[in-house]
Amino acid sequence: MSLPVLGPLIAAAVMLFLRRLSAQRFVSFMTLGVSLVASATTFVNIWDDGVIRVVRMSGWPGSFAITLVADRLAATMVLVATIVVTIVLAYATGQRAPDERSSFYHPVYMVMTAGISQAFLAGDLFNLFVAFEILLMASYVLLTLEGTNEQVRAGTTYVVLNILESMVLLMAIGLVFAATGTVSMAELPARLAELPDGVRMGLQLLLLVAFGIKAAVFPLFFWLPDSYPTAPSSVSAVFAGLLTKVGVYCLIRTQTLLFPGELGNVVIVIGAATMLVGVLGAISHRDMKRILSFQIVSSIGYMLFGLGIGGSAAIAATIFYLIHHIPVKTSLFLVEGIVARDSGSSSPDVVSGMARRSPILAVLFLVPALSLAGLPPFSGFLAKFAIVRAGVVDAQWVGIVVALVVSLLTLVSMVKIWVGVFWGDVEPAAKVSTVGVLRHQRLMGVSTGMIVALSLAIAVAAGPLYEFATLAAEQLLDVAGYVNAVRSA
């Protein structure tokens, strides 16, 4: 179980000795293959029996050890993350972008993978903080690897904001430790419950702020649409698909394990505001990558809305949304990368008529785009339907109205991209006007296709998956079960 964390780190160390790009690529894919097998095994085992797996690093007793805990949600997230990371790396290899050719790209990419896995598996708050630092350090490098002016400018905001987030998180963890004497997530629920209400609420708010910055939640979302578009497409695809999800995942943990059901209304209000602000940003922009980045913010709002409602149905809907959103968002950024590589830009001022030049690419865009907007029969429809249904049960009428309006506006922003980039006549300045766009970029096309296929598979297998999400949600809400599993391990 510790393989998805340890493997990529060891690979990163080995790659520092390899100077040849092909050797680095080989090591990367081998490692990811091994992690894939390992995380799939853990996932299948947990799917079968639902028993929480615990690994205690260093063999120390009790909460002194570094614990890795895999419950249903964590195992699923690690598996999905590993799949997405692998496919995007294949895409980056096919893209032959300058950043992938740097001798530091592959090691840093591996470090980021390890950080993401560790964040999902962390069994104590401090370990979680370390995981965050690992993936953030790696993301700083990946974001600015090409070193263009724009990247450095946006990178500065990104680094400053994330250091701020780390400080808040570290402070919160310090205060939690001061108040309870432990940072182990298995010991905390009982100890936190003994604290006075004011202290507990203060700690919860601090943690929410810290994870909220990471998840790009209103009003701390502004760094995301500013920095993600400047990164190379493959990098921003992973960032968009996974990094903010790590923040959401931590919010889910905070709200279900540490402070079950508290401040739910605050989370709902923040969620609704996040949806709205994100989508307004999306429809007010023209650039494809910026629209896509703002849509991430609005999607995070949906997850918060579900999380705030609470209860197993709403949490299950949130988990389903979380899982569906990863491949959908990633594939949209990958399509953008193909467009940008072909035409030198993805701005509708420069590109148009993509659908005529490459119908396949248009389909690859259309499927995740409609899914994100929440149109049936795609996975996004099911995810949004589940969240809205949970809202109806809980009588959150304002939130539901916001969610539906935002869904419509998301479609509007997608139509903007569609009309600008894919419809219309082929721009006269196009270098290749007759040959298909994808013919030159096979590997990129195939890997994008694989992610789109993954999101379609989620829609097809929605029944069993939703059942699994319900089981995962019930496991999340069963705090005593988590505590006992970790204690007895």
Q: Count the neighbouring beta carbons within 10 Å of the beta carbon of residue 342.
A: 23
Asked whether the beta carbons of 329 and 245 are under 8 A apart, the reply is no
Q: Does position 486 bind other proteins by CB under 8 A?
A: no
Q: How near is the Cβ of 41 to other proteins at its closest, in Å?
A: 15
Is residue 13 within the footprint of other proteins (CB under 8 A)?
yes
Closest alpha carbon to 313 in 390, 208, 425, 236: 390
User: What values do phi and psi take at 65, rounded to 5?
Assistant: -75, 160
The CB-of-19 to other proteins minimum distance in angstroms stands at 9
Using CB under 8 A as the binding rule, whether residue 27 contacts other proteins is answered as no
Q: Is 23 in the site for other proteins (CB under 8 A)?
A: no
Closest approach of Cβ 97 to other proteins, in Å? 14
User: What residue type is assigned to position 286 of the chain?
Assistant: R
| SS3 sequence of 311-332 | HHHHHHHHHHHHHHHHHHHHHH
Q: Are 389 and 381 in contact (CB under 8 A)?
A: no
Distance, CA of 250 to CA of 419 (rounded, Å) = 37
72 phi, psi to nearest 5 deg: -60, -45
Candidates 335, 239, 248, 238; CA nearest to 299 is 248
Which string of x and - marks every residue 125-164 that binds other proteins (by CB under 8 A)? Answer: ----------------x---xxx-----------------
CB of 60 to other proteins, least distance (A): 8
Work out how close the CB of 112 gets to other proteins at its nearest, in angstroms, rounded to a whole number: 15
Stretch that binds other proteins, among 57-65, 127-135, 271-279, 323-331 (CB under 8 A): 57-65
> Would you count residue 415 as binding other proteins (CB under 8 A)?
no
Nearer to other proteins, 21 or 269 (CB): 21
How far is residue 320's CA from residue 459's CA, in Å, rounded to a whole number?
11
What gap in Å lies between CA 421 and CA 355, rounded to an integer? Answer: 8
Residue 12 within binding range of other proteins, rule CB under 8 A: yes
The tokens of 241 are what?
């698909």
Burial state string for 61-70 with b = 16 or more CB within 10 A and e = fewer than 16:
eebebbbbbb
Question: Is residue 6 close enough to count as binding other proteins by CB under 8 A?
Answer: yes
Each residue 80-119 as x (binds other proteins by CB under 8 A) or -, in order, gives ----------------------xxx---------------
Shortest reach from residue 178's CB to other proteins, in Å:
22
CB of 13 or CB of 419, closer to other proteins: 13
Nearer to other proteins, 155 or 241 (CB): 155
Give the footprint of other proteins on this chain (CB under 8 A).
Answer: 2, 6, 9-10, 12-17, 55-59, 65-66, 102-104, 141, 145-147
